[in-house]
Amino acid sequence: MPEISNEKSYADGKILQHAGDGVGVITFNNPDKRNAMSLEMWEGFGEALTALRDDDAVRVVILRGAGGKAFVSGADISQFEKTRHNAAASEEYARRSVAQRALLADYPKPTIACIQGFCLGGGMQVAMLADIRLASQDSQFGIPAARLGIAYGYDGLKHLVSLVGPSWARLLMYTGMRIDSAEALRIGLVERVFPEDQLWGETMAIAETISQNAPLAIKAAKITIAQVLKDESARDMDAIKAIGTACMDSADFREGRQAFMEKRKPQFQGK
Ligand code: COA
């Protein structure tokens, strides 16, 4: 992991955030519990996401876990007795984390989950809400809701089904089994798998490529793909048209054309 100079901390240091060269990084930092997410961490995660969203210099955000053993091992089960012991408590619990998940689901910038180690339960939900998932060879994935007696919820399952299809979603959910990176890659749960010692470098290389491309063109792709995934009746075709117009009328499109003709690297401004 690289030297970090401008790190900010949330949730008593259990969520860390830094940014440089157009790339924002959020680290789940509770390695003693394999980065299990407490409610305070969910809230801190939301604050970190908001800070990077509002930082104009940041063009892409990477999510990762500290400690090398886990991305996120799910919700912090030790809080359940107090905060999630029945349906009413669960509803209140969900309310405190739902805003942060919505923030990630509707994030205006590209997001990458960089997964090393266990990615379980609520950790899978975070990873599946990211645009792209990159994993180390030694990672393990699973949703042990059936082992705990938890209903996983609509949004999490919607993403699971859209990534791996209904049959794999059923196999994973009914058994609570864990699968390794090779299998996760095969079924479409992750996009790329790297040896442990190459994961961070490869993730940064992809993030830097994204950060140097035209932000409006990326936004157009992100908005359009999100609409493709909705039911036809719920699709916002006007949003697609608006970003398409903004993109094709942009100074960046002019810069992209000119740079190509002049055989130089384009410098995009996001407008
Ligand atoms: N919530 C709370 N604590 C957790 C946790 C979670 N989701 N996941 C791990 N921990 C804690 C363990 O209780 C243990 O604490 P201890 O040191 O005080 O005993 C510590 O993290 C290390 O976990 P351990 O099980 O010893 O490590 P491991 O490397 O053998 O296994 C996991 C790691 C993640 C596979 C295992 O801890 C696990 O199955 N966790 C629960 C995962 C889960 O069910 N998630 C879904 C929640 S909805």
pLDDT digits (tens, 9 = 90+) for 37-96: 999 999 999 999 999 999 999 999 999 999 999 999 999 999 888 888 888 888 888 888
The atom number, within ligand 1, closest to the CA of 76 reads 1
In Å, how far are 84, 102, 169, 192 from 132, measured between CA atoms? 30, 17, 18, 9
Q: Is the pLDDT of residue 1 over 70?
A: no
Distance, in Å, from the CA atom of 44 to the CA atom of 100, rounded to the nearest integer, reads: 9
Q: Whose CA is nearest to atom 33 of ligand 1?
A: 34
Q: What pLDDT is recorded for position 93?
A: 83
Q: What is the pLDDT of residues 139-191, one digit of tens each?
A: 999 999 999 999 998 989 999 999 999 999 999 999 999 999 999 999 999 99
Going from the Cα of 244 to the center of ligand 1, the distance in angstroms, rounded, reads 46
Distance, in Å, from the CA atom of 58 to the CA atom of 54, rounded to the nearest integer, reads: 8
Distance, in Å, from the CA atom of 119 to the CA atom of 36, rounded to the nearest integer, reads: 10
Going from the Cα of 12 to the center of ligand 1, the distance in angstroms, rounded, reads 20
Distance, in Å, from the CA atom of 170 to the CA atom of 55, rounded to the nearest integer, reads: 40
Supply 81's token pair: 């007795």
Ligand 1 near 74 CB (within 6 A): yes
Going from the Cα of 229 to the center of ligand 1, the distance in angstroms, rounded, reads 33
Average pLDDT over residues 123-127: 97
Q: What pLDDT is recorded for position 91?
A: 85
The atom number, within ligand 1, closest to the CA of 147 reads 44
The atom number, within ligand 1, closest to the CA of 121 reads 46
What are the beta bridge partners of residue 212? Answer: none
Q: What pLDDT is recorded for position 88?
A: 87
Ligand 1 near 118 CB (within 6 A): yes
Distance, in Å, from the CA atom of 121 to the CA atom of 123, rounded to the nearest integer, reads: 5
> SS3 for 54?
coil
Q: What is the mean pLDDT of the chain?
A: 95
Q: What pLDDT is recorded for position 235?
A: 96
